[in-house]
């Protein structure tokens, strides 16, 4: 797997599916017992005009996209998750029976850069 393939997979599996999932919950809350907060948001969402709903969809897509980008930034090491005292490095390796690929190799294209290239 290449870093670009990984990033494309994250775009679909994380960002796009998260936005679709939120909008789906707003349109028709799923589950046996949705929370009061979800029910209230759903009621307000369904009361919006089509134009207003489209605006909410764009906001959900933008938020999910930014969350995926920030996650990749953590893997790239450009967003810190450790304390100042305990510096470390995250290594993302994809392993198969035939070998392994280092997906966030600092000598290759940054995952965040590849992600922004998908837009």
Tens digit of pLDDT for each residue in 78-115?
Answer: 988 877 777 788 899 999 999 999 999 999 999 999 99
Q: 25 lies in which domain range? A: 3-116
Q: What pLDDT, on the 0 to 100 scale, is given for residue 38?
A: 96
For residues 42 and 29, the answer to whether their CB atoms sit within 8 Å is yes
Task: Give the total number of structural domains in the chain.
Answer: 1
> Which residue has tokens 């489209």?
54
Q: Is the pLDDT of residue 69 over 80?
A: yes
The residues, ordered by sequence, that sit 6+ positions from 72 with a Cβ below 8 Å of its Cβ are: 7, 10, 111, 112, 115
For residues 11 and 119, the answer to whether their CB atoms sit within 8 Å is no
- Give pTM, 2 decimals: 0.86
Number of neighbours of residue 24 by Cβ within 10 angstroms:
12
Per-residue tokens: 42: 């759903």
| CA torsion through residues 5, 79, 99, 96, sign | negative
């Amino acid at each position: 797997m290449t870093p670009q393939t990984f990033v494309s997979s994250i775009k679909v599996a994380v960002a796009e599916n998260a936005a679709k999932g939120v909008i789906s919950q707003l349109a028709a809350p799923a589950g046996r017992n949705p929370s009061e907060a979800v029910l209230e948001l759903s009621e307000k969402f369904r009361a919006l005009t089509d134009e207003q709903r489209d605006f909410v969809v764009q906001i959900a897509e933008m938020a999910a996209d930014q969350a995926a980008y920030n996650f990749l930034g953590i893997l790239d090491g450009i967003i810190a998750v450790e304390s100042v005292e305990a510096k470390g490095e995250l290594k993302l390796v994809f392993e198969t029976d035939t070998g392994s690929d280092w997906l966030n190799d600092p000598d290759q294209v940054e995952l965040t850069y590849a992600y922004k290239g998908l837009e």
